[in-house]
Chains A and B, each alone.
Chain A
Amino acid sequence: GAGVSQSPSNKVTEKGKDVELRCDPISGHTALYWYRQSLGQGLEFLIYFQGNSAPDKSGLPSDRFSAERTGGSVSTLTIQRTQQEDSAVYLCASSLGGPNEKLFFGSGTQLSVL
């Protein structure tokens, strides 16, 4: 596709349920990022994949959060046993990799935990 694609665009779930968020990066982009943004706040780094290197998971807030990237392309962010404080917009971005490459963002998934 032409841009970064995320699905679903909106997800409403009950506290305690598991959710999966999907990101399809721009073709050829080796780097993929997940960020979280609460209302009116900045971007909170979650996890970063670069090529075949081990992912940087330093931003994951708890062991309920995990992510994988299959075949160097599509990524799934999984949140287990969701809590109300997990409610936020989850943004995925991709780039060509390297510190001087700009990020292209998807439209995000609005997660609401009731």
Chain B
Amino acid sequence: GQNIDQPTEMTATEGAIVQINCTYQTSGFNGLFWYQQHAGEAPTFLSYNVLDGLEEKGRFSSFLSRSKGYSYLLLKELQMKDSASYLCAVPTNAGKSTFGDGTTLTVKP
């Protein structure tokens, strides 16, 4: 089965950098997704990692270590609009994604 752990809540200051961690246990690894979900809205795709290392995409970067079962999402130059929940998800071989409970990030002025 799949097991995913993320911190429940985080708070950071506008303009700062924040790292949101995700640890996972899975019977077969097929990559790891990060999604962003603003309050009252549907989740939207942020990143996908299948190889070890850091993937950078503008202010957002995602890191993966398969040997450690660990990923993080790095948000730089935080903006108020980055306040949202960040969901870590791992798919099975068949493509079914299991989601973590999400990390609610609050960005303060």
- With both chains docked as a complex, state the minimum distance between the C-beta of B32 and any C-beta of chain A, in angstroms: 10
Q: Could you tell me how many residues of chain B have their Cβ less than 8 Å away from some Cβ of chain A?
A: 26
* A101 in contact with B42 given A41-B101, A42-B100, A43-B87 (CB within 8 Å): no
- Do A105 and B48 touch across chains, with their CB atoms under 8 A apart? no
- CB-contacts of B80-109 with A (<8 A): 87, 89, 91-102, 104
List residues of chain B with CB within 8 A of the CB of A70. Answer: none
Q: Is the CB of B99 within 8 A of A99?
A: no
Question: Quick check: B95 and A106 within 8 Å, CB to CB?
Answer: no
Q: Say if the beta carbon of B10 comes within 8 Å of chain A.
A: no
Cβ of A31 and Cβ of B87 under 8 Å apart?
no
List, in ascending order, chain A residues with CB within 8 A of B42's CB: 91, 105-108
- Residues of A contacting B: mostly: loop
Chain A interface size band reads: 20 to 34
Q: Are B95 and A31 in contact (CB under 8 A)?
A: yes
Closest to A58 in B: B96
Min CB gap A7→B, angstroms: 14
Given contacts A100-B48, A105-B43, A105-B44, contact A45 B98 (CB under 8 A): yes
Q: Is B23 an interface residue (CB 8 A)?
A: no
Rounded to whole angstroms, the CA-CA distance of A95 and B43 in the bound complex is 14
* Contact across chains for B101 and A42 when beta carbons are under 8 A apart: yes
Docked CA distance A97–B30 (Å): 13
Residues of B within 8 A of A100 (CB): 30-31, 48, 50, 91
Alpha-carbon distance between A5 and B101 when the two chains are bound, in angstroms: 24
Most buried by A among B30, B43, B101: B43
Across chains A and B, which 3 residue pairs bring their CB atoms closest together, nearest first? Answer: A42-B101, A99-B30, A105-B42
Interface residues of B (CB under 8 A from A): 30-31, 33, 35, 41-45, 48, 50, 87, 89, 91-102, 104
| A41-B102, A99-B93, A102-B45 known, 18 other contacts, Cβ within 8 Å | A35-B99, A41-B101, A43-B99, A48-B95, A91-B42, A99-B31, A99-B94, A99-B95, A100-B48, A100-B91, A101-B95, A102-B33, A102-B48, A103-B43, A103-B89, A103-B97, A107-B42, A108-B42
